Amino acid sequence: MVILKTINLVKRFGGLAAVNGVDLDINENEILGIIGPNGAGKTTLVNLISGLIYPTQGEIVFDGINIESKPAYIRTKLGIARTFQLVRPIQGFTAFENIVVGALFGAKENLKQARDSASEICDILELKRRDFPIDKLTVLDLKKVEIGRALASKPKILFLDEVMAGLNSDETWQMIHLVKSLKKRGLTIVVIEHVMGVIKELTDRVIVLESGKIISQGLYENVCKDPKVISAYLGEED
């Protein structure tokens, strides 16, 4: 079943069409990978879906509801959450407190409920240094806090914008394991990622963006053999 759909989605910044007619279907409880070269429009697409910016044209349908003109907080309430490519935790707060803030504002819980939710999320994330201040955390733990803040709004769909960036290979494996465990809990997950090994390991399906358009989609095994993808993206990496 399709949980989120975009129809002819367009975002122009002046003369540049960063997202240029994207028709995207995201299935319930899949892990969808979005890949593409720098500047392909991946983050812009997530910004459009999460409501940080509004489309120039086109529709976004979530759970059967048109949301393209709804403000971000309504989309959060409906069940859409995302992480940011540049993590931005609240400095001076602990890991746990950052997630509590996510629950207070994202899920509009009272303090007691928010603390209970944050505690549960720290367990799910296996966040051991939850009482450490943000500036004492490892990159992996910072990424977990970012995911924890998103989970605190109790989403149905979670967009992860390059959460693996900056992780070493051991941490990357831990993160892959974590994302798979979130899928088992019923979440639909969209992973934006540059590292092909991660996409191969993690995703059920992949779409490839180039210059704001979907140029290929399907199973990783097929997509990575697509000549259009090789010339647009994989070739560039080599």
Ligand X SMILES: Nc1ncnc2c1ncn2[C@@H]1O[C@H](COP(=O)(O)OP(=O)(O)OP(=O)(O)O)[C@@H](O)[C@H]1O
89 binds ligand X per the rule CB under 6 A: no
**Which chain residues interact with Mg ion by CB under 5 A?**
42-43
Closest approach, Cβ 220 to ligand X, in A, equals: 18
94 binds, among Mg ion, ligand X, none (CB under 5 to 8 A by kind): none
58 binds ligand X per the rule CB under 6 A: no
36 binds ligand X per the rule CB under 6 A: yes
36 binds, among Mg ion, ligand X, none (CB under 5 to 8 A by kind): ligand X
Of 43, 83, 153, 216, the one binding ligand X by CB under 6 A:
43
What residue is closest to Mg ion based on CB?
Answer: 43
13 binds, among Mg ion, ligand X, none (CB under 5 to 8 A by kind): ligand X
Give CB contacts under 8 A, 24+ apart, made by 62-66.
Answer: 62/3, 62/4, 62/5, 62/157, 63/3, 63/4, 63/156
When the beta carbons of 42 and 144 are compared against Mg ion, the nearer one is 42
Stretch of residues binding ligand X (CB under 6 A), selected from 42-50, 108-116, 125-133, 134-142: 42-50
Residue labelled with tokens 């992973």: 191
Euclidean distance between CA atoms 175 and 59, whole angstroms: 32
Sign (positive or negative) of CA dihedral 68, 73, 78, 80: positive
130 binds ligand X per the rule CB under 6 A: no
Contact status, residue 106 vs residue 116, Cβ threshold 8 Å: no
Of 35, 40, 104, 134, the one binding ligand X by CB under 6 A:
40
Which of 79, 73, 74 has the alpha carbon at shortest distance from 29?
A: 79
- In DSSP terms, which residues pair with 158 in a beta bridge? 81, 189
Of 12, 27, 30, 39, the one binding ligand X by CB under 6 A:
39
For 19, 116, 182, 229, the CA distances from 189, given in Å and listed in that order, are: 20, 24, 8, 22
21 binds ligand X per the rule CB under 6 A: no
Site size for ligand X (CB under 6 A): 12
Show the tokens assigned to 92: 């001076």
Euclidean distance between CA atoms 42 and 19, whole angstroms: 8
Closest approach, Cβ 87 to ligand X, in A, equals: 14
Q: Which residues bind ligand X (CB under 6 A)?
A: 13, 16, 18, 36, 38-44, 85
